[in-house]
Chain A
Amino acid sequence: QSVLTQPPSVSGAPGQRVTISCTGSSSNFGAGYDVHWYQQLPGTAPKLLIYGNTNRPSGVPGRFSGSKSGTSASLAITGLQAEDEADYYCQSYDTSLSGWVFGGGTKLTVL
């Protein structure tokens, strides 16, 4: 059971908007630690998608955006494309566990 809770799967049609939630607690998000998001395409390593709650690394399309409020965070993908089909993970730091924590991952299916 992951410290950060994500839905196991989401889906959407090409062009649509989908959101992936990530629920934390008072010892991670609530303690002020940032959320970061990763995209993992099948058979590849995770790739940093969003960092510091809302920031996109160079090269990440503007279709991807992140937000955080209280003990929850979310990743939004607009204008869904077939190439977005992947697993998405949220990540933060937990002060009670004294370590980095990840969500269980959400599989995005593009219909």
Chain B
Amino acid sequence: QVQLVESGGGLVKPGGSLRLSCAVSGFTFSDHYMIWIRQAPGKGLEWVAYTTSSGRTIYYADSVKGRFTISRDNAKNSLYLQMNSLRAEDTAVYYCARPMAGVTSTPFDYWGQGTLVTVSS
């Protein structure tokens, strides 16, 4: 069955860095685009970063552009999110998810369980 398992969350000080990982199984990872979506405590969902299957085309939300970097290793069936210059407003549960198909009008059909990132001094 399809599984997405995030790791790497934790407590970090403002200005610090963290690298999240998402280990994928149950489907051909290299065939699929992938996305990171976050949810601040008690708040709604916000997309963060998106990569095509090859990793050659990447999109970022304005709120993280220049600070976060999405990458993938298709040989390891893994997705990553390098987060630098972290701010308090980056505090959230971070989910990796699989777009069902395409780029724009796609739903996200599989989600990981999420990993909590807390930015606080």
With A51-B100, A99-B59, A99-B61: A2-B112 Cβ-Cβ less than 8 Å: no
| Chain B CB within 10 Å, residue with most, of A34, A57, A98, A100 | A100
A92–B104 Cα gap in the complex (Å)?
Answer: 8
- Picked from B104, B109, B114, the residue with its CB within 8 Å of the CB of A57 is B109
Instruction: Please indicate the chain A residues that have their CB under 8 angstroms from the CB of B114 in the complex.
Output: 45
Residues of A within 8 A of B (CB): 2, 32-34, 36, 38, 44-48, 51-52, 57, 89, 91-93, 95, 98-100, 102-105
21 inter-chain pairs at a CB distance below 8 angstroms, sorted by A residue, are: A32-B105, A38-B45, A45-B114, A46-B45, A46-B108, A46-B111, A48-B100, A48-B109, A51-B100, A51-B107, A51-B109, A52-B107, A89-B44, A89-B45, A92-B105, A93-B104, A93-B106, A99-B47, A99-B59, A102-B46, A104-B44
